[in-house]
Structure 1
Amino acid sequence: MTAYSKYFERIRVRPDTKAEARPNAPVCQWDGCSEPGTHRAPVGRLREGEYFRFCFDHVREYNRGFNYFSGLADSDIARFQKEALTGHRPTWKMGTSSGAKSSPDFAQQRSGRAGYHNRMRDPFNLFGTNEQQAARPRRARPLEAKALETLGLDANATSEAIKARYKELVKRHHPDANGGDRGSEERFREVLQAYRMLKQAGLC
């Protein structure tokens, strides 16, 4: 590239905004200042979108002492910060609507306790009454059946039975109670994993 290349002619130099803004800018709103107000500064809380016009020196001084929460109590500031997490939009808790109250929770749906008949209207009682549905034995899924088998329980085990069996096996196979026996330690790990799986399925 030569010193007088054609590319130099296309380079755009940013204009001096200070020099251009001086004749057209309003006067600085700082008391006793006659410089051009080339910089905007927010007016304050509850007047969003409104700005003062200051010169460079006075906008720096104004921003140094500006506090959006000036005059607010600590509780109001904390509430504002909490609402800011959702963009100051209203939120609702899960399950507060009438439809959510009647619907089974996610753990029951995932475990199969809440069958399809509980999530649909049954005007002709095709699936039986609620008492009949409650009395109907529940079939354990493969992973649940394996976890129950690990604990030495059958598919009809109640939540209390699962917890009691879990506590018993943990005490029996805990490494502190077996002097570092590898086999017992492996069994202890299997019991923990089985109980965690049953808990996630909503069975205990």
Structure 2
Amino acid sequence: MPVPARRHAFCGTPSRKMPAFPRCNAAVRHFFLFRHRPLAGDFLCLTLARMNRLTGKQQGMSLLEMLVVMGLIAILTGSSLYYAQEMRQAHRLRQSAQALQTFLGRMQAQANSRNEARLLAVTLGPAGCVTQQSEPPAGCGGNGLHVFRPGGQGVSIVGFSGNGMGFYGLRNTAQPGHLTLGNAAGRIRVVLSGHGRLRLCGEDAVSGVPLCR
């Protein structure tokens, strides 16, 4: 039995009742030809041809559309850079606070092992430091193992609870207090309890650090 002409009709090849639409996409012709959907293919090609006549030969984006897209890209890029900078500052602050906690833990271990007092001497500011009280005062220019410095990058020592904070080797006791580090991302406290426990807490919402209570 001969195959009807419409069964193999597709865009570009006229059937008995549907005209040819040379502007129809080749992928559409291929899809409907090999899946034996000539009626749907003819209808889709007719729709595309009508749309092509309505829009003329205009293709691409208008100047206004391009300006809108460029504005959205600029806004998204600026927001991403701002949040990335804020995350880097929070990471630096958290690293400095953890380094200070480690430094104080090392001082505490020395006080306990030698059964002697180790009190803190603190210099505030971006160029400040934390060291052990001594006679004469060592200042911030001493040995790196016995001096903590924030390490720059915008982090500074912004608060100290007062003199007398430190460790006493007898029964692992300590004079409670706290040190505060800060930068543009916020402030983090290194808190020392009377039982010699060291912990971190944030005066502001800093990622990865619980808030101070």
TM over 0.5: no
TM-score by length of 2: 0.23
TM-score by length of 1: 0.24
The structure with more helix, counted as a fraction of residues: 1
